[in-house]
């Protein structure tokens, strides 16, 4: 079969001909239709995963395809150890070891076939296309858990979403609106803010501008943010925490802009604010977002689609950071 294979950190990934994988007793073989291009690929190129990777590796984390020649399925992009006390009782989202990712810790979807554990399979509703399902498998699942499961958004609440033009940000924005929130989006690029406007968002803030905090207080009539959804951490996160209102909730899932931040503990306990970390999502949560898309409550966002032969061009596009939505590879 055709597959993009990386033989070592120092080599270039090559479109190669390799044997079709043989699934183990707990696995099934999926014929890949589309695979989403993920930041994890770029992290592999910069050797971020150290020696947790075994080569040769087929990358590709966000996979949809066909099972047994007919059933259309998505693959839950994360897999857990399956052995710890949490996994044993069916709560693998709390697995004791960090979740692992297809295309990083196990061969992924830049190939015609992939062998995956049976429990990673999620059926795709008949009215959801392969590209749309593929665009949702990772970012939308993450956003769904943060916005609809962990946050407690009530109609009319002020909800601020950082990095709103990112994968998780686009879906968090749409879900916060669906939950009835008054959404304020923050991004560092006016062009991207312009696209977010087309999703019906009225309050758009470029956080590169001076006094963006004053703008938020102005928009909310000095009330502050009821729910903050953050995916980046760092200085921006630090500067937004004091703007969260009394009894407000912050849900965060990443720290690409910095892990070490300062928190004013007195502000947090006097004003009884909640700070909730989030990681991954369950298969049921991903199924729920599929259904919201089918009901036209959330729109999948696709940046572009490349054939597998042009995967290096897709990586170049991702590196340039001008992407809005998911880049897909058609297998
Ligand atoms: Zn486990």
Q: Is the pLDDT of residue 29 over 90?
A: yes
For residue 54, the CA-to-ligand 1 centroid distance in Å is 20
Mean pLDDT of the region 321-330: 92
Q: For 100-150, write each residue's pLDDT tens digit.
A: 999 999 999 999 999 999 999 999 999 999 999 999 999 999 999 999 999
Q: For 249-264, write each residue's pLDDT tens digit.
A: 999 999 989 999 999 9
Q: For 204-230, write each residue's pLDDT tens digit.
A: 999 998 899 999 999 999 999 999 999
For residue 80, the CA-to-ligand 1 centroid distance in Å is 5
For residue 276, what pLDDT is reported?
98
For residue 138, the CA-to-ligand 1 centroid distance in Å is 20
For residue 88, the CA-to-ligand 1 centroid distance in Å is 7
Contact between 252 and 278 under an 8 Å Cβ cutoff? The reply is: yes
Buried-state track 238-254, b at ≥16 Cβ within 10 A, e below 16: bebbebbbeebbbbbbb
Domains of the chain as residue ranges with CATH: 2-123+301-330 (3.90.180.10), 141-277 (3.40.50.720)
Q: For 156-175, write each residue's pLDDT tens digit.
A: 999 999 999 999 999 999 99
For residue 179, the CA-to-ligand 1 centroid distance in Å is 32
For residue 287, the CA-to-ligand 1 centroid distance in Å is 22
How many CB atoms are closer than 10 A to CB 184?
24
For residue 93, the CA-to-ligand 1 centroid distance in Å is 8
For residue 120, the CA-to-ligand 1 centroid distance in Å is 14
Residue 282 neighbours by CB under 8 Å, 6+ apart = 93, 145
In the numeric block, which tokens belong to residue 163? 């990095």
For residue 40, the CA-to-ligand 1 centroid distance in Å is 21
Buried-state track 76-111, b at ≥16 Cβ within 10 A, e below 16: bbbbbeeeeebbeeeebbebeeebebbbbbbbbbbb
For residue 245, the CA-to-ligand 1 centroid distance in Å is 36
For residue 74, the CA-to-ligand 1 centroid distance in Å is 22
For residue 94, the CA-to-ligand 1 centroid distance in Å is 7
For residue 117, the CA-to-ligand 1 centroid distance in Å is 14
For residue 86, the CA-to-ligand 1 centroid distance in Å is 6
Contact between 237 and 264 under an 8 Å Cβ cutoff? The reply is: no
């Amino acid at each position: 079969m055709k597959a993009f294979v990386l033989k070592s950190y120092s080599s270039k990934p090559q479109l190669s001909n390799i044997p079709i994988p043989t699934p183990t007793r707990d696995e099934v073989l999926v014929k890949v239709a589309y695979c989403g291009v993920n930041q994890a690929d770029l992290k592999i190129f910069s050797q971020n995963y150290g020696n947790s990777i075994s080569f040769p590796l087929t990358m590709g984390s966000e996979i949809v395809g066909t099972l047994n020649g007919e059933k259309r399925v998505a693959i839950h992009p994360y897999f857990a150890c399956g052995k710890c006390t949490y996994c044993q009782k069916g709560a693998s989202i709390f697995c004791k070891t960090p979740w692992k990712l297809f295309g990083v810790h196990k061969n992924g979807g830049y190939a015609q076939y992939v062998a995956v554990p049976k429990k990673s399979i999620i059926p795709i509703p008949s009215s959801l296309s392969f590209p749309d399902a593929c665009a949702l498998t990772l970012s939308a699942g993450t956003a769904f858990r943060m916005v609809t499961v962990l946050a407690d958004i009530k109609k009319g609440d002020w909800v601020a979403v950082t990095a709103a033009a990112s994968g998780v940000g686009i879906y968090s924005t749409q879900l916060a609106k669906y939950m009835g929130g008054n959404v304020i989006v923050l991004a560092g690029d006016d062009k991207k803010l312009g696209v977010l406007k087309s999703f019906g968002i009225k309050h758009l803030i470029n956080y590169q501008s001076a006094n963006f905090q004053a703008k938020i207080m102005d928009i909310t009539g000095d009330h502050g943010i009821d729910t903050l959804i953050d995916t980046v951490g760092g200085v921006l996160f630090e500067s937004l925490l004091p703007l969260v209102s009394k009894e407000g909730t912050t849900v965060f899932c990443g720290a690409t802009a910095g892990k070490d931040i300062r928190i004013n503990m007195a502000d947090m306990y006097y004003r009884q604010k909640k700070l909730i970390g989030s990681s991954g999502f369950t298969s049921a949560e991903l199924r729920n977002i599929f259904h919201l898309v089918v009901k036209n409550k959330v729109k999948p966002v696709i940046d572009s689609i490349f054939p597998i032969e042009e995967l290096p061009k897709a990586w170049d596009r991702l590196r340039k950071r001008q992407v809005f939505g998911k880049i897909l590879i058609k297998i």
